[in-house]
A and B are shown apart, each in its own frame.
Chain A
Amino acid sequence: MNRLRIKVAGQSGSGLLSVGEILINSFKELGYNVVADREYPSLIKGGYSCFSINVSDKEIKGLSNKADIMLSIDKESMEAYFDTLEKGGILVHGYERLFGIKDLIEKAKKRDIKVVHQMVRSIAKEKGASILMTNVILTGIFWKTLGLDYNVLKKSVENKFKSKPELLEINLRCLRAGYESVDKIISIEDFKIKLLKNKEKKIVINGNKALALGAVHAGCRFYIAYPMSPSSSILTYFSEMSEKTGVMVKQGEDEITVANMALGAMFMGTRALFATSGGGYDLMTETVSLAGMIENPLVGIIAQRPGPATGLPTWTLQADLNLAIYSSHGEFPKVVISISDPQDAFDLIQHAFNISEKYQIVVLVLTEKNICESEMTISPFKQRKILIERGLVKEEGLQNLKNIDRFRITKNGLSKRWIPGSTDKAYYFANGDEHDEDGSLTEDGEKCASMYEKRMRKMDLVSKALPEPEIYGVRKGADISFVGWGSSKNIMRDVIAIYKNKGIKVNYLHFSYLYPLKTKVLERFFNENSSVNLIEGNYQGQLGKIIEAEVKKKFAGKLLKYNGRPFFLEDLEKFINKRI
């Protein structure tokens, strides 16, 4: 088991986020690994939402859809999420009119669920606090239920209110009142989670912040975006950091502007970045095509959510792989990368800049809502691990440049790149029209074809340079195997560990670099494992179709999900248990 599964349910605007944040930080302080994701509707106040928090002494990356303990802030969300509470679990709530939840209490009894209830509004009143602070009282109750150290919780609350000292004192009063109002019911050790003595330093971070940090670390000096869930918080992070980083942060008037500004800034020779979601990216595709034509580096993040159209703005999916690969008119080389977790985000965005600049191509980085916003405990990022590689002509080489070097037809397709203004003599035309080696417009059939081929040759060049997909679990001879990308890696890593304990060999082939598709390890994976299945968060099995076409193999089965929810442990258990 090694996993404590918590759900905090409440309306948007009820203080759910604060409770989640305080709990995550407190478990982190105790040295545990935490994974947490919030599901919520696309509105500002009301509607019910839920923070799922899984805690372990082992490394975990994915989430269960069940809960051992549920902390409920209001009635609606309690009713909505009650059924996910495990038999024999614990319900912590402060709803006062108990007659209104008679049925629920009955159900709890039948399922052997312990109900921990306090009149939290009355407690708040007694402590001179507003009813908005009942969430803090409930947090105290929750913590005591597990019999955990009050001082750790207190420290998290102090950190949270560091910038609002006037609110700290009253919040601590509420926290303590909650903590003291109940007794310990269960111990964290009952979930086979050890109490930790040697605590490794960890940080709590989500995918979007990790992307922003990775980009800043890689020398990105310009961030341009138009708000769109679930990418918007990247803009927030860049903006919050901008006083200290000096990175220019600009909200453009629309996505077309964003893509063009990013292209222009990269053209001039800085590192610029944009992020959007599928709908916003749709608007950018013409500009992406321009980057392909003028062999301009361009790095963009597509944070996926379910479509089509507005779809489900605050939910998750992996359905924009085809969009990333096939979007934009004309043919030109491009690289598509997917991230899975904060460490991936930090590393791969740095590689994205290097690939884009070195090969003068577009690099699209796919993320997903549940990566964007899932909080994870990880070791602090190691810096300067990935070199900055720009592929620019060095200072001493500028003197000997000729105009035609910029788009010179070369064997491998790559021509020299130097930034505008770095030499007076070797200027060039970055021409969206088909062009000759110095960028001059040409419609000569032979010249057009050879320039076209030169650009396309970069596809082979970059493909050779990209890493092969990575195998998790046993290399060969697994009882059941999976192939996937994006957030699937997180759940698969947990599943591999869970089944290993049961003596069942599960393995997983993960594609970080999706396009151009690397096939060597993939073919071997098919040959060395008997039941290779696809796991993808979309309807068609988009990567699966590409793989089946490229390597002429068939998947034994396909685990597909497209209801806006990520893959949970239970989805995998159901799929695997049916097959072995």
Chain B
Amino acid sequence: MRDKKDFHKLSKLSGDYLKYETSKVLTWCGNCGNYGIQNALKRALVLEGYKKKDLLMCFDIGCNGNGSDKIEGYTLHGLHGRVLPVASGCALANPKMKVIASAGDGGTFSEGINHLVHAIRNDYPILFIHHNNENYGLTVGQASSLTRCGAIMNGTPKEVTIDPINSLDFVLSLNPSFVARSFSGEIGHVTEMFRLALKHKGFAYVEILQSCPTYNKMTPDIWYTKRIKMIEDKKDYDKSDIWQARRIVRDMENEIWLGLLYENKKKSNFFETYPFRKGVKTALVEEVRHKDISQFMQ
């Protein structure tokens, strides 16, 4: 959302924006990346015309999950690492509502990494927001599988000595349909990525690099701002080329590329591959009634 027209539109829609605003006190640390991410999400929802009844937001456990009751709308705050299966159950039961799932790097790449693999493989119709602050914040600063080597973390003897997983390289290896990356300090850009992801019919993976001012001393905001680059500025970048995407996401030290990095518009989402519900106009939630079973009692 770096377009002036969008700012204009948003200011006109400020009433709608305020409907998502909570009157509660937010419980995140000062300068936490979650403020920016939540703001961007509200902006994107308003700009894309979502009403509360069109939307379910599911939250994993952790700092971002503590915001589950601090954005007004239908929300489900589930278990650690399990936001994807619960959100996919929701999305399959009622594809007429948009399902957004949020989780941190602990829930996504340790406790629930198997669910990530299968959510991507099944291409469930979900917008997934990966809050990547490279550590476990709410449990007071332990290392995640994305924490960098050399980081001094609560519970890790001396320092982190095991190489982290490269999140986007891992995701791209699973043949996803939509992969974007943004940075919590760039609210306009995050909004833009969310808007694109909201329009995607399958599993939209959006990673937000996020500072954690309290526990992640290695990559504060300033560290990111020096390194981030916008993908539209990269010459000859083809976002349909998965190998090009995999090459550029390898670098997490010098040039960190943000934007819609990969998109496969040809990939069929879960509903398009499922054999026996093609052409069915109703959602599962609209079909609960007695079903005649005579033909199965032979």
Which A residues lie at the B interface, using CB under 8 A?
Answer: 203, 205, 213, 216-219, 221-222, 224, 241-246, 248, 250, 252-254, 256-258, 260-272, 286-287, 290, 294, 380-381, 383-384, 388, 390, 419-424, 427-433, 435, 439-441
Q: Let me know if B290 and A222 touch, CB within 8 A.
A: no
B4-12, B82-90, B127-135, B212-220: which one contacts chain A? B82-90
Interface size on B, residues (CB 8 A): 57
Interface string of B136-160 (1 = CB under 8 A from A): 0000000000000000000000000
Q: Let me know if B69 and A290 touch, CB within 8 A.
A: no
Complex Cα gap A310–B87 (Å): 31
Complex Cα gap A427–B75 (Å): 8
Which B residues lie at the A interface, using CB under 8 A?
Answer: 24, 51-56, 58, 61, 66, 68-69, 72-79, 82, 85-94, 96-97, 114-115, 117-118, 274-277, 280, 283-285, 287-298
Question: Which residues of A sit under 8 angstroms from B53, Cβ to Cβ?
Answer: 421-424, 427
Complex Cα gap A431–B89 (Å): 17
Question: Which residues of A sit under 8 angstroms from B284, Cβ to Cβ?
Answer: 221-222, 248, 265, 268, 270
Residue from B75, B85, B285, B290 in contact with A384 in the complex, judged by beta carbons closer than 8 Å: B290
Complex Cα gap A420–B100 (Å): 14
Q: Let me know if B85 and A267 touch, CB within 8 A.
A: no
Given contacts A248-B284, A264-B76, A429-B69, whether A217 and B290 have CB atoms under 8 Å apart is yes
A-B contact count (CB 8 A): 189
Q: Let me know if A286 and B79 touch, CB within 8 A.
A: yes
Question: Which residues of A sit under 8 angstroms from B24, Cβ to Cβ?
Answer: 440
Question: Which residues of A sit under 8 angstroms from B97, Cβ to Cβ?
Answer: 268, 420-421
Residue of A nearest to B114 (CB): A253
Q: Let me know if B297 and A381 touch, CB within 8 A.
A: yes
Q: Let me know if A248 and B274 touch, CB within 8 A.
A: yes
Selected A-B contacts with CB under 8 Å, 14 pairs: A219-B288, A241-B296, A248-B284, A254-B114, A257-B115, A260-B86, A263-B89, A287-B82, A294-B76, A383-B290, A383-B292, A388-B288, A421-B55, A429-B69
Residue from A213, A260, A390 in contact with B296 in the complex, judged by beta carbons closer than 8 Å: A213
Residue of B nearest to A242 (CB): B276
Q: Let me know if A268 and B78 touch, CB within 8 A.
A: no
Complex Cα gap A250–B275 (Å): 12
Q: Let me know if A430 and B288 touch, CB within 8 A.
A: no
Q: Let me know if B93 and A222 touch, CB within 8 A.
A: yes
Q: Let me know if B292 and A221 touch, CB within 8 A.
A: no
A397 to chain B, nearest CB (A): 16
Q: Let me know if A431 and B276 touch, CB within 8 A.
A: no
Complex Cα gap A430–B85 (Å): 16
Q: Let me know if A270 and B293 touch, CB within 8 A.
A: no
Q: Let me know if B285 and A419 touch, CB within 8 A.
A: yes
Q: Beyond A260-B82, A268-B89: 11 further Cβ-contacts under 8 Å? A: A219-B291, A221-B287, A246-B276, A253-B115, A270-B283, A270-B284, A287-B82, A380-B297, A429-B74, A431-B69, A432-B61
Q: Let me know if B94 and A429 touch, CB within 8 A.
A: no
Q: Let me know if B72 and A427 touch, CB within 8 A.
A: yes
A26 to chain B, nearest CB (A): 16
Residue from A260, A264, A441 in contact with B66 in the complex, judged by beta carbons closer than 8 Å: A441
